[in-house]
Structure 1
């Protein structure tokens, strides 16, 4: 009878240790899942912020290109200026060489 009692105590002691171990393991798993969820949310926020910044940069670059195109002379005007400059250089070189 005493022997059965000892086996019973050992059995229940073993069960208690297993359940404590299982609780600890479960607690660690839940804690890691919570940190994983927070980590995912943090990375998602960072990605959204970077994406918004990239969109703003793109918009600013497009606006800058539009301003440069509007401020630039037309191709015909550029050709006229080039022709005038070449004429000027031609006559300047004639004047200098003669």
Structure 2
């Protein structure tokens, strides 16, 4: 792909650039919302569930916890934890 500036990028470089931009946009969005985050990051989930890095990794790998990866960051939908919490209260 050739940019307007005349710089030629490989497909891999273009993909990396897009992922970096998306990651930065999500980071800024996440930082700007102080009270109502749509997603938790890994640190939030570990603190919320009181689990280790390895336990969180196992939960992701076994698909017990939904997640999305943008660049190198992993995010978890807040709605999953809200619903799980409601279900625990019902039992």
TM-score strictly above 0.5: no
Q: Which has the higher helix share?
A: 1
The structure carrying a bigger strand percent of its residues is: 2
| TM-score when normalising by structure 1 | 0.27
Q: Which has the higher contact order (CA 8 A, sep 6+)?
A: 2
